[in-house]
């Protein structure tokens, strides 16, 4: 049972043997763009700890605006070199070190409706500049399963060979992000891995937390998107770090999620049984959902170490004891791409 944010973050940031081997084999320093988001801090700490455990000498660096000073202090306390700046501002990218390994996490999803231009600047214009600035590096770029069309629930989800087909400004800009890194890879020969993630979960945010909070607060759970994929954030962190070994030109594409197709109704019922609450629902399940098939990922890296049921139990304990939440719903139930 997790009793504090510090304990949770320490668990998410603890590398496994494969992480240590991957960071030990990495050629040169690692720079993480957008390090202060929901995944970035524990991912950076995991990388730094894996580097130390491997016994090699290499820097792990991160750049962000760092609106939360605690995150910057936490990273620097474990040896992550930090740079503060808005990546969209002139001169910021140019002022960063010439790292041979770049992890691109910077992105914008929520608030896109009504400020679409900012989303396109962050998700397309910036990746184009990053691809040009770090043309000489290996780049792992976090993408999204939102680039895929809705598929029939029984299909097992979209594979990497499914052509992108997105509705809505955010999913379209996510395709644009991939196209910019593909352009850079084709133009300069930059080795790239595009990681299409949906959805990472831990107790403070994610699909499971969204559903659990609804049940706990006796609010109806929306069944519009009746099924979803999830993966424990620690497992997602591990795969992302190990994805540098896949970088190639043209880019390698990798779906990242858990192997299960989870019923939203079933997840709500699991929370309900743990709390002795009868979940309320609104809407009806559709025959289609946004689903990723991550069989390629599981073949390369193995199955996740944390099951959805374990994550549900941890999340129920966390919510039940009033644990801190990020307050950033995923919007996983959105079917029209408007976030």
Provide the pLDDT for residue 112. 65
Provide the pLDDT for residue 111. 65
**pLDDT of 115 above 90:** no
Model confidence pLDDT, tens digit, residues 79-106:
999 999 999 999 999 999 999 999 999 9
Which tokens sit at 294?
């991550």
Helix 207-216 with 264-275: angle, nearest 10 deg: 50
Q: How many CA atoms lie within 13 A of 120 on its CB side?
A: 8
**pLDDT of 166 above 90:** no
Q: Is residue 301, in this structure, part of any structural domain at all?
A: yes
Q: Is residue 312, in this structure, part of any structural domain at all?
A: no
Q: Is residue 92, in this structure, part of any structural domain at all?
A: yes
Q: Classify strands 262-263 and 227-228 as parallel, antiparallel or unpaired.
A: antiparallel
Total tally of structural domains belonging to the chain = 1
Q: Reading across the β-sheet that carries 192-197, which strands appear in turn?
A: 81-84, 60-64, 30-33, 101-104, 138-144, 192-197, 252-256
Q: Classify strands 151-152 and 288-289 as parallel, antiparallel or unpaired.
A: antiparallel
- What is the CATH number for 169? 3.40.50.720
Q: Is residue 29, in this structure, part of any structural domain at all?
A: yes
Q: Is residue 275, in this structure, part of any structural domain at all?
A: no
Q: Which domain holds residue 99?
A: 5-198+232-259+291-305
Q: Is residue 64, in this structure, part of any structural domain at all?
A: yes
Q: Is residue 145, in this structure, part of any structural domain at all?
A: yes
Q: Who contacts 209 (Cβ-Cβ below 8 Å, separation ≥6)?
A: 201, 202, 203, 315, 319, 325
> Please, which residues bridge with residue 62 across strands?
32, 82
Model confidence pLDDT, tens digit, residues 168-195:
899 999 999 999 999 999 999 999 999 9
Q: Is residue 215, in this structure, part of any structural domain at all?
A: no
């Amino acid at each position: 049972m997790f009793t504090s944010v510090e304990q949770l973050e320490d668990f998410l940031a603890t590398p496994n043997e494969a992480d240590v081997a991957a960071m030990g084999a990495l050629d040169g320093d690692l720079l993480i763009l957008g390090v202060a988001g929901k995944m970035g801090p524990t991912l950076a700490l995991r990388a730094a700890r894996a580097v130390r455990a491997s016994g090699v000498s290499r820097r792990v660096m991160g750049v962000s605006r760092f609106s939360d000073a605690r995150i910057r202090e936490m990273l620097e306390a474990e040896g992550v070199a930090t740079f503060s700046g808005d990546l969209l501002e002139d001169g910021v990218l140019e002022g960063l070190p010439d790292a041979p390994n770049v992890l691109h996490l910077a992105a914008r999803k929520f608030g896109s409706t009504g400020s679409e231009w900012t989303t396109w600047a962050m998700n397309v214009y910036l990746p184009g500049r990053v691809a040009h600035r770090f043309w000489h590096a290996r780049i792992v770029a976090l993408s999204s399963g939102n680039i895929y069309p809705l598929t029939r629930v029984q299909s097992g989800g979209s594979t990497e060979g499914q052509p992108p087909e997105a509705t809505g400004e955010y999913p379209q800009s996510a395709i644009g992000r991939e196209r910019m890194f593909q352009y850079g890879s084709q133009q300069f020969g930059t080795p790239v891995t595009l990681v299409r993630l949906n959805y990472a979960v831990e107790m403070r945010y994610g699909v499971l937390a969204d559903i659990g909070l609804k049940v706990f607060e006796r609010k109806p759970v929306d069944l519009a998107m009746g099924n979803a994929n999830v993966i424990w954030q620690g497992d997602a962190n591990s795969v992302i770090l190990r994805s540098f070994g896949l970088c190639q030109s043209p880019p390698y594409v990798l779906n990242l999620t858990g192997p299960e197709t989870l019923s939203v109704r079933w997840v709500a019922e699991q929370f309900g049984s743990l709390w002795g609450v009868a979940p309320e629902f609104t809407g009806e399940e559709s025959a289609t959902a946004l689903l990723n098939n991550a069989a390629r990922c599981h073949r390369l890296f193995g199955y996740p170490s944390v099951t959805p049921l374990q994550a549900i139990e941890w999340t129920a304990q966390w919510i039940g004891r009033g644990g801190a939440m990020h307050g950033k719903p995923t919007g996983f139930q959105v079917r029209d791409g408007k976030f």
